[in-house]
Structures are given as structure tokens and as C-alpha cells.
């Protein structure tokens, strides 16, 4: 068993380095799911849309990853101004 340990760790290092080297890029499949904001809402996030950071689009998509580039979709805003708009939109949706 002790003889297999260096071999297994070397294989794991190779697999991890391969997975880290895979580049994510936009293949333009996300254009089908592009979200459009209606005039009466405050933000895309308050409508339930999600942002793909790689593609740069808001998507009307049910999954947690982009259908195009497989990156994790952002569901809430990160800057303070957008967070205020999001909270305001959520209170309007609750009423």
C-alpha cells in the first residue's frame, strides 16, 4: 500500500491541474436566454434574472450555472447602490 501513495498523489495533482487549466469562454449559446427588463421594475435581480460574469448578460435561466460557459450565475447584486435597488424591488414584490 505504501508504494501506491506517491503514484496516486501524482495522478491527483495531474487531474487537478488539468481541471484548473480548462478555460471558460462564451460560446454565444446564452443569447437565447437573454433577459429583458420591463419598464416598471427596478432591477434585473428583483425580477429573478441571473447574471453571468463571463458572458456579461442577464439570463432568464432556472439553473445555477450558465448554459453557455458553465460559470456560476450571480443571483444578487454586489455593489451597495444595486443592493438598495434590489431590496426596494423585493419590498414592492412582497406588497
**Percent of the chain topping pLDDT 70:** 65
**pLDDT of 22 above 60:** no
Where do the structural domains in the chain lie, given as residue ranges? 26-94
* pLDDT of amino acid 50: 92
If pLDDT is split at 50, 70 and 90, which confidence band does 88 have?
confident
Mean pLDDT of 71-95: 77
Measured between alpha carbons, how far is 58 from 51 in angstroms, rounded to an integer?
Answer: 4
Mean pLDDT of 37-46: 77
Residue whose entry in the numeric block shows the C-alpha cell 416598471: 40
Amino acid at each position: 500500500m505504501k508504494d501506491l501513495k506517491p503514484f496516486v498523489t501524482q495522478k491527483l495533482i495531474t487531474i487537478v491541474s488539468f481541471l484548473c487549466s480548462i478555460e471558460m469562454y462564451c460560446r454565444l449559446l446564452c443569447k437565447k436566454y437573454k433577459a429583458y427588463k420591463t419598464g416598471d421594475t427596478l432591477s434585473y435581480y428583483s425580477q429573478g434574472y441571473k447574471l453571468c460574469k463571463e458572458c456579461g448578460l442577464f439570463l432568464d435561466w432556472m439553473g445555477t450555472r450558465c448554459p453557455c460557459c458553465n460559470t456560476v450565475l450571480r443571483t444578487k447584486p454586489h455593489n451597495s447602490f444595486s443592493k438598495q435597488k434590489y431590496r426596494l424591488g423585493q419590498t414592492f414584490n412582497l406588497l
